[in-house]
Amino acid sequence: MLDPRPWAPEQAAGLAAWAVQPPLRIVAVALPQPQAQDDPGAALLVQHLRAGCAVLGLQCADVVGAPSVWDDVPAGDVWLWCAPTDLLLRWWPLDEGHPLVPLLAQPSAIVAAYRAVKQLHAAQLQPVVVAVAARVGEEAPLHAACQALQRTCERHLGWVPGVWVLGYHDGSAPLQGLPGNLDVVTRALEAAWTLDMRRSPQGEAKRPC
């Protein structure tokens, strides 16, 4: 079983035993509530991430729950981890990457995003907010939601998270005509928790020194 932070070498070796090829990127999407696996903002964000990874030729796999229960996870270049903020607080390394907090234009989504940002920032993490347009013509209200969230963070936290914006798509061709969306996906991959695993000629998993 894996243990919560700090991430130890033997825990990384356990992940390497799954024959993961380097580099493995774990992209975390913060859920606003413990039982919010069907959160619409997170679902839209994951849809964009999948589409972007496909364009980049990267294979995605889903991981659920704590890393201690990640058994028989399919091999892939990117693992998409949708998890409640309290779970991310226990596992996400302090010195690497940024959890992603989804944001929709609705007032309730602003409140949920602020709550997630507040919890993650209080634990010395630096989340990035990803605003996602859910329908055509939502650019203005989504921009207003971003500004409202940033003002609230500045007022109450004395800190403002980075905000990336994903434009609307109808699902048939997520990135067609939206080069900015692919740029956001690329930045999300750069913000991932990266595990660089290699194998010896004998097939034994080894973590680089």
**Type of residue numbered 7:** W
**DSSP 8-class letter at 34:** T
Q: What tens digit of pLDDT does each residue of 43-60 get? A: 999 999 998 898 888 999
Domains in the chain, CATH or no CATH each: 19-206 (3.40.50.300)
Tell me, letter by letter, the H, E, C secondary structure of 128-182: EEEEECCCCCCHHHHHHHHHHHHHHHHHHHCCCCEEEEECCCCCCCCCCCCHHHH
The answer, yes or no, to whether residue 18 has pLDDT greater than 90, is no
pTM of the model: 0.81
Q: What tens digit of pLDDT does each residue of 118-177 get? A: 999 999 999 999 999 988 888 899 999 999 999 999 999 999 999 999 988 665 555 555
Question: In whole angstroms, what is the distance from residue 88 CA to residue 130 CA?
Answer: 17
Nearest CA-CA partner of 182 in 192, 193, 170, 173: 173
